[in-house]
Structure 1
Amino acid sequence: MDANNATDWRDDKALPDCMMYMLQNEIMCDVTLRVGDNRTPIKAHKYMLSSRSAVFHTMFEGSLPEKGEITIPDVDEDTFRHILKYFYSDVITITNNNVKEMLYAADKYMLAAVKRECETVLKQTAKSEHATKALQTAYQYHLSELQTESLDYIEMNTKSCLLSEHAVSLSKDCLELILKSDYLNCTETDICQFIFKWGKHQCDLAKLEPSGGNMREALGNILYLIRFPNVGMEFFSKEVTSSCLLTDDEMLCIYKSHFGVVSKTFSSCLRTPVSKRKTYLVNRYSQITGPMGTSGKQSLIFLSDKDVWLKGVVIFLPHVQPATYNYDCYDQQVYQVCINISIRIMDDSNEEKFHETQQINYGPQCGHIWQMNFSKPVRVHSMRDYIIQMDDIGLQIYYGRACKESVTDLQSGVTIKFKNSKVSGDGTTVSIGQFAGLSFSV
């Protein structure tokens, strides 16, 4: 063959392509891994494995290096091949179908980047009725942000989450995290009904009779997080008393609580969901003026000194006279124009936490500001920067002047600080511009 016409497999290939070619064609491989239940042989390169994982590096170069073939029975073949692809090409494929297996492998081999990708996929589950499954996974693998988001969703949608098929599989520790919350959006009777389902499931797993005593044993001290004085009297009398879950003294204590005797064993403090908590409002402007011509998105950073639920934003309305108008019955001109207000909330890693667009009919009778109440509250954690952003509405607006950099609501004791955002368009800064105020609950 003419040497000038010969081609080489390395030609026109980037480094990841070359590395994957060597892996797939077993070129110069120096280690065999027996993977999964079937101990499928997979050849690889010690150099690559060690370069991506401290676990493999210790395995090959530690004080007691492993010799010969390496057995990996606890990771299935498909998952391990995905991990190898990441090692050799930096490409990772994570879906809802394989995320749990990938997370296990990432945790085992100390792959921080893969764990983050898994957490991103799992966050979608955290915002659904399967949030209890996401909570359990987050707790197991120490994913703090996912755990927080799962709990936030469960607090706002408690009843549907407890009805999920995954809820009865919650560990005792995760169940405790839920029951400690004062925000749960369901009745205490709903909680008590779920506890019976959970307790019976634990007894089934342990091959025990689902008796009150065995369920009590499974619950342990979690039992005292159930606020029995707030359970409906009919359900308590029919179901709880006949279950033998509680002692005679405990049942008597709860009956007395309905006649004003405070229980020292079980709390009677009502859980108050976010939707029913008092709403507070802070305004950052001192004066309103206009018009202000704006271009691009208006953006501002805010930070709260306490955990709060953001419920809405007060914005400045357009200043210009709209071109479209109607007439009222008194033949007076009443201007109206329809505008879209689109608001986004991002966290300090620029991840979008909330996005909502609302439509309003604006006219001179609407005034200078308008309060946009969100369809669902947004969890804001203390001492962490968040970005509030409003899409350009293409109109001149009223705006705030002499705005405050820090505002304290005296009733709630919450202080909110504002900072300039690098992504803001012309017009909005800490001292001037859009975003008149924020509404929140504690």
Structure 2
Amino acid sequence: MAKPGDTVDWQDGKSLSECMIYMLEKEMMCDVTFRVGTDQSIIKAHKYILASRSPVFYTMFEGSCPEKGEVIVPDVNSATFKILLKYIYSDVLDLSLENIFEVLYVAEKYMLSTLKNECSSMLSSSVETSNAPVVLNVATHFHLEILIQKSLQYIQKNAVQCFLSPNAMKMSKTCMESIMRLDSISCSETDLCRFFIKWAGYQCEAERKKRSGENMRERAGSLLYLVNFPLVDKKYFANEIAHSGLLTLEEIVSVFYSHYGRENDFFAKFVRKQFYGKDYKVLRHSSIQCGWSPYNGIKYDALKITVNKNIELKAVILYGPSDQIHSSTSGIIVKILNNDGNEIHNKKYETCPQRYQTHTIFLSEPITINANKGFTLMVDSIKCKTYYGTQCKPECKIDDIIVTFENSTFCETETNIGQGQIAGIEFKA
């Protein structure tokens, strides 16, 4: 019987799925009632349609002990159950990374292989993105081993980017432990510690507990000892960790002692290596000219450089002499300033560059540069005529890595983003 508000032409010119959805939404001729979720929301449906798509529903209604009366579904929320019904009735799936965990759960519960395949496809397409923590969380719960490995590998290579994902904090304790046990990762111990604290705080809020150090410690449990607190930035530890209530007094004292050479008694003693996978060489010029004139005294060519990924800076690429080389030109000073303008590298490299257009100076040790944290590269000019770059590009892209060059206020020569010295950099990412 038609209800008030029903249209009389809901069948005319409509597809089968449109008619089925209309009958579901209007509860027309329904013959089964579900009470769904902890609030036991009432949702009505049609046995025939459900049994035609799901072997579980078929057994429920046509098996040796068919369900009589209302069907109780306490382990699925009403929103997810409605998504399930819409898919059964029309093959239309309202799937997102926000609800994929719940949808995959009902796909397995009701043995809907096509729905499970849809979820797997979305997870596979998201595994090499900043949503890798979401994939790891879902894959771990449902024992999808290939996706577990792929998501962990991506997080290992792109930790900072993944930690910024809004859903990263929702990872289970098991997933967090998988990350904390990585022997190498593309972020500093301080970055990892910050994310760990953020994750522990979210766990408190999810359980409606106060976001206190004591509650975070309780939820973190043994994971707390996988953080190498002695390697965390000293200022951050003193200002943010020591007074938070997260650590005991004995643990705090042990960390402070470790800053002066004593081995700590509590936390992870291994040094987690910073993971960098592939070597990259970036040159900023479109063409090279000769005849860049030397400057009297020490003058620094300088550029600000920003990379959108964590990198391990290995070398500086400079333009070589175009004129006669003198012994006085053998030493080249390389300075690097961090994003705050503080000096993090200052070394004279004894080198006698040959008359090549460019030459590479490998740093005495690689320098870690965090994603999107610009650094300033300063090099004292060679005391003879050199080659120089022209039509230089302000931005270079290789794979998914973007290197941006900007003018620096520390530059004392005519070098700028359009021309001049400093040919490029080499790094691992």
- 1:15-414 to structure 2, matched below 5 A, reads 31=32, 33=34, 39=41, 42-46=44-48, 49-50=50-51, 52-62=53-63, 64-72=65-73, 80=81, 83-84=84-85, 87=88, 91=91, 93=93, 95-96=95-96, 99-275=100-276, 375=399
The aligned amino acid for 1:229 is: P
Deviation at 1:177, TM superposition (A): 1.6
Unaligned runs of 5+ in 1: 1-13, 280-373, 378-440
SS at match of 1:275: coil
Contact in 2 for aligned 1:28/1:45 (Cα 8 Å): no
Alpha-carbon displacement from aligned partner over 1:244-293 (angstroms, at most 9, x marks no partner)? 322233233333434444445322323234425899xxxxxxxxxxxxxx
Contact in 2 for aligned 1:138/1:146 (Cα 8 Å): yes
Q: Aligned residues, how many? A: 275
Would the alpha carbon gap of residues 242 and 146 (structure 1) be closer, same or farther in structure 2, given more than 3 Å must change?
Answer: same
Per mean C-alpha deviation after superposition, the further-off stretch among 24-33 and 236-245 is 24-33
Contact in 2 for aligned 1:135/1:151 (Cα 8 Å): yes
Deviation at 1:172, TM superposition (A): 2.0
Matched residue, 2:328: none
- Whole-Å Cα distance in 2 between the matches of residues 93 and 177 of structure 1? 31
- Whole-Å Cα distance in 2 between the matches of residues 24 and 239 of structure 1? 53
Contact in 2 for aligned 1:94/1:117 (Cα 8 Å): no
- Whole-Å Cα distance in 2 between the matches of residues 228 and 135 of structure 1? 25
The aligned amino acid for 1:159 is: V
The aligned amino acid for 1:204 is: E
Alpha-carbon displacement from aligned partner over 1:360-381 (angstroms, at most 9, x marks no partner)? xxxxxxxxxxxxxx9479xxxx
Would the alpha carbon gap of residues 375 and 272 (structure 1) be closer, same or farther in structure 2, given more than 3 Å must change?
Answer: farther
Would the alpha carbon gap of residues 255 and 63 (structure 1) be closer, same or farther in structure 2, given more than 3 Å must change?
Answer: farther
Contact in 2 for aligned 1:86/1:92 (Cα 8 Å): yes
Deviation at 1:225, TM superposition (A): 0.8
Deviation at 1:35, TM superposition (A): 6.4
Would the alpha carbon gap of residues 134 and 246 (structure 1) be closer, same or farther in structure 2, given more than 3 Å must change?
Answer: same
Deviation at 1:189, TM superposition (A): 0.8
Note the aligned Cα RMSD (angstroms).
4.4
Would the alpha carbon gap of residues 134 and 61 (structure 1) be closer, same or farther in structure 2, given more than 3 Å must change?
Answer: same
Would the alpha carbon gap of residues 252 and 111 (structure 1) be closer, same or farther in structure 2, given more than 3 Å must change?
Answer: same
Between the aligned residues of both structures, percent identity stands at: 42
- Whole-Å Cα distance in 1 between the matches of residues 86 and 400 of structure 2? 40
SS at match of 2:272: coil
- Whole-Å Cα distance in 1 between the matches of residues 267 and 143 of structure 2? 31
Deviation at 1:237, TM superposition (A): 2.6
- Whole-Å Cα distance in 2 between the matches of residues 150 and 274 of structure 1? 15
The aligned amino acid for 1:108 is: K
TM-score, scaled to structure 1: 0.50
TM-score, scaled to structure 2: 0.51
Contact in 2 for aligned 1:92/1:114 (Cα 8 Å): no
Matched residue, 1:317: none
- Whole-Å Cα distance in 2 between the matches of residues 180 and 196 of structure 1? 16
- Whole-Å Cα distance in 2 between the matches of residues 204 and 30 of structure 1? 41
Deviation at 1:118, TM superposition (A): 0.5
The aligned amino acid for 2:241 is: V
Would the alpha carbon gap of residues 35 and 244 (structure 1) be closer, same or farther in structure 2, given more than 3 Å must change?
Answer: closer
The aligned amino acid for 1:214 is: N
- Whole-Å Cα distance in 2 between the matches of residues 217 and 111 of structure 1? 39
Contact in 1 for aligned 2:136/2:147 (Cα 8 Å): yes
Would the alpha carbon gap of residues 99 and 127 (structure 1) be closer, same or farther in structure 2, given more than 3 Å must change?
Answer: same
Contact in 1 for aligned 2:228/2:268 (Cα 8 Å): yes
Would the alpha carbon gap of residues 99 and 169 (structure 1) be closer, same or farther in structure 2, given more than 3 Å must change?
Answer: closer
- Whole-Å Cα distance in 1 between the matches of residues 85 and 206 of structure 2? 36
Contact in 2 for aligned 1:155/1:183 (Cα 8 Å): yes
